[in-house]
A and B are shown apart, each in its own frame.
With several copies, the nearest count.
Chain A
Amino acid sequence: MNKIIKSALESIKDIKDGDTLMLGGFGLCGIPENLIFALREKGIKNLTCISNNAGVNDFGIGLLLQQKQVKKMISSYVGENDLFERMVLSGELEIELVPQGTLAERIRAGGAGIGGFYTPTGVGTIIADGKETKIIDGREYILELPLKADFSLIKGYIGDTSGNLVYRKTARNFNPMMATAGRITIAEVEEIVEIGILNPEEVITPGIYVKRLIKGEHYQKRIEQKTVRKV
Chain B
Amino acid sequence: MTLLTREQMAQRIARELEDGFYVNLGIGIPTLVANYIPENISIVLQSENGLLGIGPFPIDGQEDADLINAGKQTITTIPEASFFSNADSFAMIRGGHIDLTVLGALEVDQEGNLANWMIPGKMVKGMGGAMDLVAGTKRVIVCMQHKNKAGESKILKKCSLPLTGVKCVNKIVTDMAVLEFTKEGLKLLEKAPGITVEEIKNSTEADLIIEGEIPDMIF
Contacts of B20 in A (CB 8 A): 1
A37 contacts the other chain (Cβ, under 8 Å)? Answer: no
CB < 8 Å neighbour of B127 from A76, A175, A195, A206: A76
Smallest CB–CB gap between A80 and chain B, Å? 7
B8 at the interface (CB under 8 A from A): no
Expressed in whole angstroms, the minimum distance between the Cβ of B98 and any Cβ of chain A is 8
Query: Interface SS of chain A: helix, strand, loop or mixed?
Result: loop
Residue-by-residue, is A119-137 near B (CB-CB < 8 Å gives 1, otherwise 0)? 1111111110000000000
Chain A, range 42-83, C-beta contacts under 8 Å to B: 52, 75-80
Interface residues of B in 63-116 (CB under 8 A from A): 63-69, 71-75, 77, 79-87, 89-98, 113
Given A195-B79, A221-B66, 12 additional A-B pairs, CB 8 A? A26-B49, A29-B49, A29-B72, A78-B126, A103-B86, A120-B94, A120-B136, A200-B81, A208-B52, A221-B65, A224-B72, A226-B63
Residues of B within 8 A of A208 (CB): 22, 44, 46, 52, 92, 97-98
Which segment of A4-12, A13-21, A166-174 sits at the interface? Answer: A166-174
B59 CB within 8 Å of chain A: yes
Q: How far is the CB of B157 from chain A (nearest CB, A)?
A: 17
Q: Chain B's nearest CB lies how many Å from the CB of A54?
A: 9
Q: CB within 8 A of B136: which of A77, A113, A209?
A: A113
Which B residue sits closest to A80, measured CB to CB? B72
Report the interface size for chain B: residues with CB under 8 A from the other chain.
Answer: 68
Task: State how many residues of chain A have any CB contact under 8 Å with chain B.
Answer: 78
Given A125-B164, A207-B82, A208-B44, does the pair A99, B66 have CB atoms closer than 8 Å?
Answer: no
What are 10 A-B pairs at a CB distance below 8 A?
A1-B42, A100-B48, A100-B90, A121-B136, A172-B84, A177-B87, A200-B83, A208-B52, A221-B66, A226-B73
Instruction: Name the contact of A169 in the complex, choosing from B64, B127, B164 (C-beta under 8 A).
Output: B64
B166 located at the interface, meaning its Cβ lies under 8 Å from any Cβ of chain A in the complex: yes
Q: Among the listed A78, A79, A104, which residue makes an inter-chain contact with B86, where contact means beta carbons less than 8 Å apart? A: A104
Interface centre among B44, B67, B127 (most CB of A within 10 A): B127
- Whether B26 is near chain A, meaning CB under 8 Å from some CB there, is no
By a CB distance below 8 angstroms, the chain A residues around B67 are 169-170
Q: A113-B95, A124-B166, A195-B79 are in contact. Are A77 and B63 (CB under 8 A)?
A: no
B56 contacts the other chain (CB 8 A)? yes
Q: Which of A206-222 contact B (CB under 8 A)?
A: 206-209, 221-222
Contacts of A171 in B (CB 8 A): 65-66
B51 within 8 A of A: yes
Cα of A174 to Cα of B50 in the assembled complex, Å:
9
Alpha-carbon distance between A112 and B127 when the two chains are bound, in angstroms? 20
CB of B123 closer than 8 Å to a CB of A: yes
Query: Would you call A229 and B56 a contact (CB within 8 A)?
Result: yes
> Which listed residue, B22, B59, B132, touches A102 by the CB 8 Å rule?
B132
Shortest CB distance B68–A (Å): 5
Which residue of chain B has the shortest Cβ distance to A84 in the bound complex? B123
Do B82 and A112 touch (CB < 8 A)? no
Contact yes or no, B87 A107, CB < 8 A = yes
The 3 closest A-B pairs by CB, nearest first: A101-B90, A79-B125, A101-B132
* Cβ-neighbour of B126 out of A75, A119, A203, A221 (below 8 A): A75
* Contact A206 B132, CB 8 Å, known A113-B91, A114-B94, A124-B163: no
From A100, A122, A223, A227, contact of B65 by CB (8 A): A223
> Judging by beta carbons under 8 Å apart, are A173 and B49 in contact?
yes
B91 touches A125 (CB 8 A): no
